[in-house]
Amino acid sequence: MKGGRKKEHEPVAIWQDIEKLSLSWDSAKELFHYDRIDSTFESLLPQASLRAGAIVFFAAAIIAVILAFLSSIGMTYFEAFRYETIAELHGADIEPEIDFSGLVPYSLYLLLFIVPFSMVFTLVYEWVAWRLLKLTGGKGEFKKQYQLASILTLSMSMVMALELLAPVPFLSYLAFFAFWLLFMYFGFFVRCRAYALVHDISFLHAFVIFVVVSAVAIPIAFFAIQNAVGLFNVPLPAQSAGV
């Protein structure tokens, strides 16, 4: 009987997860509006859960991976086009072969390393930040902080759509500037607003904890990613283009 009831409720739970993910998507879009940050976060707090946060984090990682993959394909075509144009300017009749073999190790790198690493890294990052916030007077629950962090990470994955403009001359510079501006907006400002709201502390208090945790976490992440690039033999964009 118990097994039957569990199976009966599984479709309901899955549907609820899909519904929450849809609401999270809408909330992530709302965070692009400066004046809606607090109201958006406040609406999410009552339904916060570690399960929902993990699902949103996973969705954000998958979206980021898809966009990075599409961007690499665009760069491959652009490098081939650039090489052919330069050859024509020098009077050479050369048609470069577009080689997508380099995308195979890149895809494995994204799926087998970046996705699980980002999931574990964000979990540990938020837990360490939560412990420090609690030790310095914070009052919030970890599940609430984790839930809000997942939503702003989903917003950051949307920002990665700007990478699709990387192969486009001139627009690539605007995209690069907009990418890092929005990345800092979400990664620094919105995150600190979330900490302040969850723990009922000042923005300055949240900012200090953010700086302390990031000062340790970012070098560790950079070291891990650089070593993973060599492990998976990830090629440069030019190499992927067969240039």
Structure confidence by residue, pLDDT tens digits, 192-241: 999 999 999 999 999 999 999 999 999 999 888 878 777 666 654 444 44
The mean pLDDT value for 54-70 works out to: 89
As for how many domains the chain has, the answer is 2
Answer with the one of 100, 119, 139 that is the final residue of a domain.
Answer: 100
Is the domain of 214 the same as that of 119?
A: yes
What's the rounded Cα separation, in Å, for the pair 209 and 215? Answer: 10
* Same-domain pairing of 140 and 224: yes
Q: What is d(CA 115, CA 229) in angstroms, rounded to the nearest whole number?
A: 14
* Close Cβ partners of 76 (under 8 Å, ≥ 6 residues apart): 98, 100, 102, 103, 237, 240, 241
CB within 8 Å of 43: residues ≥ 6 apart: 27
Same domain, 78 and 127: no
Contact 150, 60 (CB under 8 A): yes
Answer yes or no: is 61 within a domain: no
Q: Are residues 75 and 177 in the same domain?
A: no
Which residues span the domain enclosing 86? 70-100
Query: Are both 88 and 134 inside the same structural domain?
Result: no
Confidence of residue 125 (pLDDT cuts 50, 70, 90): very high
Instruction: Based on the fold, state whether residues 79 and 163 are members of the same structural domain.
Output: no
Largest alpha-carbon pair distance within the chain? 79
| Three-state DSSP class for residue 170 | coil
**For all residues of the chain together, what is the average pLDDT?**
82
Question: Which strand (E) or helix (H) includes residue 62?
Answer: helix 50-89
For the question of whether the overall pTM of this predicted structure is more than 0.95, the answer is no
Is the pLDDT at 92 greater than 80? The verdict is no
Residues 86 and 111 in one domain: no
Query: Within this chain, do residues 111 and 226 fall inside the same structural domain, yes or no?
Result: yes
Q: In this structure, are 76 and 144 located in the same domain?
A: no
**Percent over 90 (pLDDT), the chain:** 45
75 in a domain, yes or no? Answer: yes
Same domain (yes/no): 92, 134: no
Residues 75 and 186 placed together within one structural domain of the fold: no
For residue 100 the two structure tokens come to: 């997508």
